[in-house]
């Protein structure tokens, strides 16, 4: 399957990597070439610098041969424009867009766009949509995400209050050795713990190091 992914942030890079690992032909478009570093060494697709709604850029990406198209930047207007160009001008059979701000959900619905609302775990849902043509919406409360991750070495031996960020990052539950606990401020975390937390979008880069790559 030929897939074009617009946006190489956390969601786009994860989606592109998942598709690449599955053996699909993937082209990733982003205006910032530094963002391609997120793809890592296991990605074996193509990267193109440019705007995802620019017709020349899309032509270069092979959009006319694309089976699926995912617009997953953190800008709703960019995603909307890119999705509309892919669908209406190039006739890509399946187009999926990321909806960042739920306030714009009505616009996406009126345009008949297939979309995913939220920011965390969205890559896996988008992957399901690309495969099946539909999926479940994962919603976030504005710019607050609820995430689950495996604690990295950077967490090991540190107390909850040492890594939480007031009003930006709060740990709600920890799973360890098949038991679940609601941690207190002095609870010591261990590498490999499964952590459930709420995070403001603006703080995500600060806590990414606490998440173990799986």
Q: What is the pLDDT of residue 140?
A: 54
Does residue 74 contact residue 7 with C-beta atoms inside 8 Å? yes
Instruction: Name which of 141, 160, 174 is nearest 207 in CA terms.
Output: 160
**Mean pLDDT of the region 131-147:** 52
pLDDT at 168 over 80: yes
For the entire predicted model, the pTM comes to 0.59
Tokens 């424009």 belong to residue? 81
Domains of the chain: 2-132 (3.40.50.720), 144-210 (3.30.70.1450)
Has residue 32 got a pLDDT over 70? yes
**Hey, is 61 helix, strand or coil?**
coil
Q: Are strands 68-71 and 2-6 parallel, antiparallel or unpaired?
A: parallel
Measure Cα distances from 64 to 12, 30, 174 in Å: 20, 18, 46
């Amino acid at each position: 399957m030929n897939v074009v992914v617009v946006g190489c942030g956390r969601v786009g890079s994860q989606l592109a990597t998942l598709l690449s690992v599955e053996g699909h032909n993937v082209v990733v478009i982003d205006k910032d070439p530094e963002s391609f570093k997120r793809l890592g060494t296991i990605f074996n697709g193509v990267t193109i610098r440019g705007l995802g709604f620019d017709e020349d850029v899309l032509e270069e990406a092979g959009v006319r041969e694309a089976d699926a198209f995912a617009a997953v930047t953190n800008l709703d207007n960019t995603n909307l424009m890119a999705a509309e160009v892919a669908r209406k001008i190039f006739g890509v059979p399946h187009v999926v867009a990321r909806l960042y701000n739920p306030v714009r959900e009505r616009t996406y619905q009126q345009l008949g766009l297939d979309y995913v609302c939220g920011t965390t775990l969205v890559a896996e849902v988008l992957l399901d949509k690309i495969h099946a043509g539909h999926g479940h919406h994962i919603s976030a409360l504005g710019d607050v995400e609820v995430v689950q991750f495996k604690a990295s070495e950077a967490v090991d031996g540190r107390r909850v209050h040492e890594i939480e960020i007031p009003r930006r990052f709060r740990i709600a539950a920890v799973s360890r050795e098949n038991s679940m606990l609601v941690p207190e401020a002095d609870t010591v975390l261990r590498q490999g713990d499964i952590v459930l937390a709420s995070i403001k979008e603006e703080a995500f880069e600060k806590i990414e190091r606490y998440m173990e790559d799986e």
